[in-house]
Amino acid sequence: MSEIGFPVKDLMRRKFQTGLTIVGLIISTATAVFLTLFGENVGFEIALVTGGKLTTGFSNVFSRFVFMVTLLNVLVGALVTSFLVYLSMSERVRDVGIMKATGCLANRAFGYFFTELSIIVFTSCTLGAVVGVSVHFAFVSVLNIVGFSLSQRPLNMWVVLVIFFVFVVTSHILGSQPIIKAIRVKPAEALSPLYSFGITSKELGKPASSNLSLTLKVAYRTLMRRKSATRRAIICLATVLTLTTVTIAGGIIASQTTQGYVEQAVSRDIVIVGHPDLTSQYVNLLSQFFEAKETEPINYLDSKYRISESLVSELSAISGVLKADPRLVLEANVSEIPGVIIDPEEPDQYILVGDHRSGEALVLGVQPERVINEWFISGSFLNETDVYSAVIGDSLALEMFADPEKQTIMVFEEDFEIVGVCLDPLNNGNVVYVPLDALSTLVDGQPYYNFIFLKIDPAKRLQVLAEIHEKVSGMMFEPLELNEILGNHLNFLGYIWSFVMFLPLFSLATATLCLLSYMMLSVTGQQREFGIMRALGAKPKTILKIVFTEALIVTLISGVIGIFVGLFFTFVFLIPEPIISHFTLFSVAGWLLLALSFLCLSSLYPALKVVKKSIVDVLSQP
């Protein structure tokens, strides 16, 4: 028989344990591959590069999430493999003892079990990579079916190979540790009944308190008797539950936060009034947040686009118009101007920050006191006294400036001091907001409008729209509601996060496999005890209560650690400025409690298998 013939047959004899290990590693590998490929295709990458959709600021939120979850997945995959291999070796210590007692060399025994580990790891990682790629293509196709035009990028095999080899290497390194430990056991110890399930005299633990109930006493004694296995189970489960918490809490909170940022930037119940050429162009510029659209060059200063002050007054006076915000919108080449700051290392010296980069941007002249949008801003927005001040979009700030709030921007040969950076989906974040009077003076010498933004009362929507149509009839202008385009923005973010939210199911499945494997080991070691208890009159439900209590203790300890660490990562590293509602808090708490309850209930499976056996069969087990 070939060198791998015996290891393959051995793995097939232990189909259940082998299957658990393979499924756990497949899930971890597939999740990492899917997240990375899907992120590249919809516009967010670990390298923080915007792919034609989303702004750089929004992309960073997704990128941090992808990076954190992928990193945790690698750790979880390796730990799960190590833990399940450890449990497998705990059941086979007697086999190791017999092999060494019959003269088998330690390196030969190590090679035998390491071959089994390699078969499991390479099979799992290969299948995981295939599953991850398949799920990625399926989800991009779904986004296209529901109306978002996403071009399917060529498969990035380098990314897949890197993830594949990272999982292979880490799984081999951590998975080989329990094999090395088992090989070092002396034959006499390995063949003893005390050691047969990975129990040593040092791990018998202290007796349980007499104040505890019988169920809790037995459960506590069993966990303390297997300190090594219990400790590994808690570490592994805590890591998996950290990943679960990050994906559940982080996904829900990030979804609400990013949607809140977009809703504030675009705003609800907004009607824009302007020439059809301009309103169509504005919608295309807004749509670039979720799909790359071609835009035609337009002369924004053409006289036919000009809106008179009298029309602004008439529209502002309509009953149901809550606020009118006239604007001058232009496309222009803007340039970075280096800033001068004090050298932090030498306070008496000054250094230059930035360069002389330039690029195209959408420039909007606004009257600060009349602006109807609310952006998430680093710094501050314009105020009524500002003349040559500017607020720039996040993509423009991150791609063109070194330290934007310490620099200036040149627009139409005039320098504007940057006072803030905003998250804005318009023109994919390549925007500049400046005082309208200053911009009008630079391009025309007098106040100039080509858009009017109207905040309307939704209760009077039809009446307001009818009056607006009446006011602009015969002027070549048209009103256009932005609620539909805002809905597309929110739907796009919702679909992305809903796909990402499949990950808790994967990580929960991995946690279930870990707990199930641990409980299988525990129940196997207690079969004779359970048989004796049943022979003495204990009911099957008593056995189930003991096993459930064991699982509950392990799950609660792991859950407290995993949920705390997961929430810490979420609020400190993923979403520093979250938007959280009471519904979000209840949703996160509900999902986490559901996950923990599912874990505990799944642990009853091995106990059910034992109680279904007859007492004679249980007591006849070696």
Distance between CA atoms of 236 and 79, rounded to whole angstroms?
6
pLDDT band, very low/low/confident/very high, at 415 (cuts 50, 70, 90): very high
What's the pLDDT tens digit per position in 566-585? 888 888 777 767 777 777 77
**Amino acid 227: pLDDT:** 76
Q: Which of 74-78, 206-210, 509-513, 546-550 has the lowest mean pLDDT?
A: 206-210
Q: Has residue 492 been placed in a domain? A: no
Q: Has residue 587 been placed in a domain? A: yes
Residue that is last in its domain, among 180, 198, 216? 198
Query: With DSSP H G I counted as helix, E B as strand and the rest as coil, what are the percentages for the chain, rounded to 5?
Result: 65, 10, 25
Q: What is the pTM of this model?
A: 0.72
Cβ-based neighbours of 111, under 8 Å, separated by 6 or more: none
Q: Which of 3-12, 104-113, 115-124 has the lowest mean pLDDT?
A: 3-12
Average of per-residue pLDDT across 288-292: 75
Distance between CA atoms of 375 and 368, rounded to whole angstroms?
13
DSSP 210: T
Rounded mean pLDDT of the chain? 79
User: How far does CA 555 lie from the centroid of its chain?
Assistant: 23
Average of per-residue pLDDT across 442-468: 89
Query: Do 229 and 329 fall into the same domain?
Result: no
Distance between CA atoms of 304 and 307, rounded to whole angstroms?
8
pLDDT at 521 over 50: yes
CB atoms within 10 A of CB 32: 29
Q: Has residue 83 been placed in a domain? A: yes
**Amino acid 51: pLDDT:** 43
Bigger pLDDT: 288 or 347?
288
**Amino acid 47: pLDDT:** 36
Query: Do 107 and 12 fall into the same domain?
Result: yes
**Amino acid 323: pLDDT:** 93
Using an 8 Å Cβ cutoff, are 425 and 265 in contact? yes
Query: Do 256 and 285 fall into the same domain?
Result: no
Distance between CA atoms of 123 and 133, rounded to whole angstroms?
16
Q: Which of 202-211, 306-315, 425-434, 598-607 has the lowest mean pLDDT?
A: 202-211
Query: Do 456 and 586 fall into the same domain?
Result: no
Q: Has residue 495 been placed in a domain? A: no
Instruction: Write the CA distances from 54 to 35, 173, 266, 402, integer angstroms.
Output: 17, 39, 14, 21
Using an 8 Å Cβ cutoff, are 415 and 374 in contact? no
Quickly count helices (H) and strands (E) in the chain.
22, 12
Query: Do 136 and 278 fall into the same domain?
Result: no
Q: Which of 216-220, 379-383, 504-508, 601-605 has the lowest mean pLDDT?
A: 504-508
Is the Cα dihedral 560, 564, 565, 566 positive or negative?
positive
User: How far does CA 226 lie from the centroid of its chain?
Assistant: 35
Instruction: Write the CA distances from 177 to 115, 267, 574, integer angstroms.
Output: 14, 56, 33
Expressed as residue numbers, the domain containing 611 is: 201-266+501-622
Total count of domains within the chain: 3
- Which helix (H) or strand (E) segment holds residue 549: the answer is helix 540-569
pLDDT at 335 over 50: yes
pLDDT at 208 over 50: no
CA angle 115, 512, 238 (to 5 degrees): 90
Beta strands in 241-386 (DSSP E): 270-274, 321-337, 339-342, 350-353, 358-366, 377-379
Query: Do 299 and 406 fall into the same domain?
Result: yes
User: How far does CA 335 lie from the centroid of its chain?
Assistant: 35
Query: Do 161 and 56 fall into the same domain?
Result: yes
Residue that is last in its domain, among 140, 171, 198? 198
Query: Do 206 and 315 fall into the same domain?
Result: no
Q: Has residue 493 been placed in a domain? A: no
Q: Which of 92-96, 229-233, 242-246 has the lowest mean pLDDT?
A: 92-96
Q: Across the strands, what pairs with 392? A: 421, 432
Average of per-residue pLDDT across 305-314: 90
Q: What percentage of the chain reaches a pLDDT higher than 90? A: 18
Distance between CA atoms of 456 and 442, rounded to whole angstroms?
31
Residue for token pair 């004090």:
342
Residue that is last in its domain, among 453, 481, 509? 481
Query: Do 321 and 275 fall into the same domain?
Result: yes
Query: Do 392 and 531 fall into the same domain?
Result: no
Q: In this structure, what token pair is assigned to residue 426?
A: 């318009």
pLDDT at 418 over 90: yes
Cβ-based neighbours of 384, under 8 Å, separated by 6 or more: 368, 369
**Amino acid 34: pLDDT:** 81
Bigger pLDDT: 193 or 301?
301
Query: Do 308 and 394 fall into the same domain?
Result: yes
Q: In this structure, what token pair is assigned to residue 218?
A: 């037995």
Q: Has residue 22 been placed in a domain? A: yes
Average of per-residue pLDDT across 467-488: 89
Bigger pLDDT: 544 or 310?
310
Query: Do 353 and 440 fall into the same domain?
Result: yes
Q: Has residue 394 been placed in a domain? A: yes
Using an 8 Å Cβ cutoff, are 521 and 294 in contact? no
pLDDT band, very low/low/confident/very high, at 189 (cuts 50, 70, 90): low
Bigger pLDDT: 335 or 254?
335
Q: Has residue 490 been placed in a domain? A: no
